[in-house]
Structure 1
Amino acid sequence: MEEQQPAQAMQNMSPSNCQVQVRQRTSSRRLFKSTSGGMSLRLPLPVPKTRPKLLTYDEIPEWYQDNQYVLAGYRPVSGSVRLSIRSWFYIHNESINIYTHLVPAIAFLLGAWYVVDYLHRTYPGVKVIDDLILGFSVLTVTICLGLSTTYHTLINHSLAVEAFWLRQDFIGIVVLTLGSFVSGIYVAFWCEPIQRRTCWTMILTLGSGTIFLLVHPKFQGRRWRTLRTGTFVATGLSGFAPIVHGIKLFGFSQMLKQSGMPYYFTEGALYILGVVVYAVS
């Protein structure tokens, strides 16, 4: 556009012209807000139609460098939820993490209806509380897997988004632990409501404390990593307290039958292994 002469510029600065320009700018901003969801006046990032070039460990920002042993296959920083979700449709170094959480989450949701129907057809005496406990267990599994799927999807979004969803991923692990313990205690202490409520109170208190440490800003960063790891271990190992109490109350052989104890020992060993790998890496 050619530069305007001083006289013409003064003419364009008249009140009527200024009002027209203001209305045009306001209209443009309203139009943009209506098409962008009112989030920002910044233009959205263009969505590439082809797969972006994957990066090496040395090519990504420091906040994105989580594991020095994973040398390549990193998605570029997206800054966009949409771009990060589009990465579901090509292979990168988070693909396995995404799909090993996403597929089971969907399977648990779909399978829950079958399990409930099977129980009601097989055991006519099933009560509402039984359905609620089973539903709670499936819900906690789905929450854990869903949060992990979201974290691994958005890990390349930005520093703030990655840090936020990392905490949600940890919270999901705690929620899953609580879900498995609540259902296990319900079955193991089927006819002992006092012992059942006592164990539930202990587990939920420890789980709530762990979640508090995970979400509180003061306890973030590497300085508090040992404390966060310790609360994870304490919450996981607390599940053995009801087992020990049940052995004293019912005997080892009976507890073995009614509590699924071998599965809990296996689960506890895997929890500890995972925490150790996380702590040393």
Structure 2
Amino acid sequence: MEIQHERTRFETDTPALHPVPEASFSATTLHRDNSFILSGYRDVSFSYWQCLQSTLELHNETVNIWSHALGSLWFLHQFFDDCIKDDTTALLTSDRFAIGMFDMSVALCFFFSAAFHTFSNHSRSVYRLSNQMDHLGYRLVNVGNWTFLAPILSFDASGLHTRSI
């Protein structure tokens, strides 16, 4: 038995700042919350495979997908280069941990963002879940930043002090 999906415009929880008349929307687009972007939207796919295939096409998410995916790979490389690679630099374990937390938090932030932009046209439920993961990535970077700064900064009665790594 084949399951039929209703293909409708994605309704955001909050109305667009500059609403576009309903007649200008294609019946198969998932969401359009920016009235200044007039074309380039991907149709609702209900298929993870089609979402992945669309990364090789030109649309209004292409730059977001690729810039975040490449950023994720870069910071993952940095993580291995800074923390895993056995080198002769005299970094303390706490310093390696702090740098590693920063690198990994940024890599995950970019990964979650790339996944959100890749799968945002799948369905309403996948859009919402991937959007939440995207926002989790921002929070991970905040944690990673403070983990990175903690070994460098110290406060006492005389003020803020820093040490070099």
**TM-score bracket, shorter-length normalisation:** 0.7 to 0.9
Rounded Cα–Cα distance in structure 2 between residues aligned with 1:168 and 1:114: 26
1:133 counterpart (90, 98, 109): 98
C-alpha distance after superposition, 1:114-141 (max 9, x if no partner): 234789423x2x2333222222111111
- Mark the CA change 1:188 to 1:149 in structure 2 (over 3 Å): closer, same or farther: same
Rounded Cα–Cα distance in structure 2 between residues aligned with 1:85 and 1:168: 18
Alignment of 1:39-188 (within 5 A): 42=2, 58-59=25-26, 64-116=31-83, 120-122=87-89, 124=90, 126-188=91-153
Q: Is the 8 A contact 2:112 2:137 kept in 1?
A: yes
Question: Which stretches in structure 1 are left out of the alignment for 5+ residues?
Answer: 1-40, 44-56, 190-244, 260-281
Q: Number of aligned pairs?
A: 147
Q: Is the 8 A contact 1:78 1:156 kept in 2?
A: yes
After the TM superposition, which segments of 4 or more aligned residues of structure 1 sit over 6 Å from their partners?
none
- Mark the CA change 1:61 to 1:181 in structure 2 (over 3 Å): closer, same or farther: farther
- When normalised by structure 1's length, the TM-score is 0.46
How far did 1:172 drift? Answer: 0.7
Question: Which stretches in structure 2 are left out of the alignment for 5+ residues?
Answer: 4-23
SS at match of 2:151: helix
Rounded Cα–Cα distance in structure 2 between residues aligned with 1:66 and 1:246: 48
> Which is bigger in relative contact order (C-alpha 8 A, separation at least 6)?
2
SS at match of 1:139: helix
- When normalised by structure 2's length, the TM-score is 0.75
- Whichever of the two has the greater Rg, that structure is 1
Q: Which has the higher strand share?
A: 2
- The CA RMSD measured in Å over matched residues stands at 3.0
Q: Which has the higher helix share?
A: 1
- Mark the CA change 1:121 to 1:156 in structure 2 (over 3 Å): closer, same or farther: same
- Mark the CA change 1:59 to 1:164 in structure 2 (over 3 Å): closer, same or farther: same
How far did 1:112 drift? Answer: 2.4
How far did 1:246 drift? Answer: 6.9
Q: Which amino acid aligns with 1:71?
A: L
C-alpha distance after superposition, 1:16-35 (max 9, x if no partner): xxxxxxxxxxxxxxxxxxxx
How far did 1:103 drift? Answer: 0.2
- Mark the CA change 1:128 to 1:157 in structure 2 (over 3 Å): closer, same or farther: same
Rounded Cα–Cα distance in structure 1 between residues aligned with 2:136 and 2:63: 21
- Mark the CA change 1:249 to 1:88 in structure 2 (over 3 Å): closer, same or farther: same
